[in-house]
Amino acid sequence: MSELSHWRDVIVPQRYETGCVPTGYEWLIRYLGIERVELDTFQEDFDLQRVHQGMNSFASIADRIRSRYPFIDIHIVSFDQGLEKVRTMKNLIEIFLV
């Protein structure tokens, strides 16, 4: 996991009528400096609800991104319970505070 030390330096406005999930992925790609990605139309291209009448979920958009840009490695962790997610986040925070 990357340390988000310069997160304030990357601003990605959500464009009109695009979903927040593709906007978030665009932010991550810009933040990490991943090249060879068409960012001018990224939100529109990966807004599955708008373009493909699908559902904007982290997993469905990640699959679509991987299919177009196989060099982008996206890992998604699902949690069965909220407490499990909170514990994981606390552990990650502790790692970075050391």
pLDDT score, position 52: 63
pLDDT score, position 54: 67
Positive or negative torsion for Cα 10, 91, 78, 64: positive
Q: Model pTM?
A: 0.77
pLDDT digits (tens, 9 = 90+) for 17-75: 888 999 999 999 999 999 999 999 999 999 987 766 667 889 999 999 999 999 999 98
